[in-house]
Amino acid sequence: MMVLNNLNNKRIILGSNSPRRHFLLKGLDLKFDVIVPDIDEVFPENLKADEICKYLSIKKSEALEKHLDKNTIIITADTIVWLNNKLINKPINFDDAFKMLQQLSNNIHEVYTGVTIKSINKTITFTAKSKVHFNKLDNNEINYYLKKYQPFDKAGSYGIQEWIGYIGIKKIEGSFYNVMGLPVSKLYNKLKHF
């Protein structure tokens, strides 16, 4: 039995391949299946910041609609890093990741996550924003982190829950878990009233 009584008889599908999102959703004591949506993460060029992750989370949920029935709820999410009014994506290689971390060093960036919750007759989408203040990182620290942790599947080339988060993050305004990839407190409240 879960605290979210309204979900007791529901099948929950998490539409994400991210181990961090699996871990965070498990932390809410929810049972769920994982089905990864097969989409290209392309979005209209005119979108900015939270509009991008909102658009992509909706796109992911629409790709999973065929799995919906009256007892199913789909949760999808997309997280982006936004620096100096520009999207910082996942790195394409080591050098790209190195440059990204040099840009984030001694700087402030935003992390946005868009989340879509979908049932057969209702869809809600919301976003969460966190501001991350990075310490100055030297090249040795960046090199060590990239070689040891290989964060090449992560937006902005870092995982806040890893070594770099311990040594490199001065402060966060907003949800730590949002930076990890899922604003779980906000998600819990939305599911409570879904």
40-96 pLDDT per residue, tens: 989 999 999 999 999 999 999 999 999 999 999 999 999 999 999 999 989 999 999
Residue 67 near residue 37, CB atoms below 8 Å: no
109-151 pLDDT per residue, tens: 999 999 999 999 999 999 999 999 999 999 999 999 999 999 9
| Axis crossing angle, helix 94-104 with helix 139-149, rounded to the nearest 10 | 130
Q: Span 5-192: which CATH code?
A: 3.90.950.10
Residue tagged 């991008």 (tokens):
52
Is 166 a residue whose pLDDT tops 60? yes
- Report pTM: 0.93
**What does the domain layout of the chain look like in residue ranges?**
5-192
Q: Distance (Å, rounded) from C-alpha 179 to C-alpha 79? A: 8
Q: Which residues are catalytic?
A: 78
